[in-house]
Amino acid sequence: MTSVKLESSPSLLNPTLTCDLVIVGGGIVGATLATALKDSGLNVTIIEAQSQPKAASKPQAYALSLLSGRIFDSIGVWEKILPQIGKFRSIRLSDADHQGIVNFQPSDLGTDYLGYVAEHRVILQALQNAIAQSPQIQWLCPAEVIAVDYQETEAILTVKTAEKLQQIRSKLVIGADGARSPIRSAAGIKTQGWKYWQSCVAFTVKHHAPSNDIAFERFWYSGPMGILPLRDNRCQIVWTAPHSQAKAIKELDEKEFLAQLYERTGGVLGELELVSDRFLFPVQLMQSQRYTNSRLALVGDAAHCCHPLGGQGLNLGIRDGAALAEILQKAHQKGEDIGNLAVLKRYESWRKPENWIILGFTDFLDRLFSNNWLPLMIVRRFGLWLLRSIPLVKKLSLQLMTGLLGKKPTLAQN
**DSSP secondary structure, 1-64, as one string:** -EEEE-S---S-EEEEEEEEEEEE--SHHHHHHHHHTTTSS--EEEE-SS-HHHHTT---EEEE
Residue 163: pLDDT band by 50, 70, 90 thresholds? confident
| Residue 1 reports pLDDT greater than 50 | no
Give Cβ neighbours of residue 335 (< 8 Å, ≥ 6 apart).
none
- Packed helices 374-389 and 391-402: angle between N→C axes, nearest 10 degrees: 100
Q: What percent of the chain has pLDDT over 90?
A: 91
State how far the alpha carbon of 360 is from the alpha carbons of 41, 289, 373, in Å: 37, 15, 21
| Residue 10 reports pLDDT greater than 60 | no
Beta bridge partners of 286: 193, 305
pLDDT for the residue 7: 53
pLDDT for the residue 28: 98
Region 252-267: what's the mean pLDDT? 95
Q: Which of 259, 258, 266, 204 is nearest to 231 (CA)?
A: 204
CA pseudo-torsion sign 265, 266, 269, 272: positive
Per-residue pLDDT reduced to its tens digit, 275-309: 999 999 999 999 999 999 999 999 999 999 999 99
pLDDT for the residue 53: 96
pLDDT for the residue 210: 87
pLDDT for the residue 162: 84
pLDDT for the residue 9: 47
How far is it, in rounded angstroms, from Cα 126 to Cα 404? 24
Region 395-406: what's the mean pLDDT? 94
13-45: string of b/e by CB count within 10 Å (b at 16+)? eeeebebbbbbbbbbbbbbbbbbbbbebebbbb
pLDDT for the residue 411: 84
How far is it, in rounded angstroms, from Cα 248 to Cα 363? 24
- Burial class, 193, CB count within 10 angstroms (exposed 0-12 / middle 13-18 / buried 19+): middle
pLDDT for the residue 399: 95
What pTM was computed for the model?
Answer: 0.95
- Packed helices 374-389 and 341-369: angle between N→C axes, nearest 10 degrees: 110
pLDDT for the residue 413: 74
Per-residue pLDDT reduced to its tens digit, 326-362: 999 999 999 999 999 999 999 999 999 999 999 999 9
CATH number of 2-192+284-412: 3.50.50.60
| Residue 95 reports pLDDT greater than 80 | yes
Least confident of 59-63, 65-69, 128-132, 161-165: 161-165
How far is it, in rounded angstroms, from Cα 66 to Cα 394? 16
Q: What is the helix, strand, coil percentage profile of the chain, to 5?
A: 40, 30, 30
Residue 14: pLDDT band by 50, 70, 90 thresholds? confident
**How does the average pLDDT of the chain come out, rounded?**
94
| Residue 5 reports pLDDT greater than 70 | no
Q: Indicate the domain borders of the chain.
A: 2-192+284-412
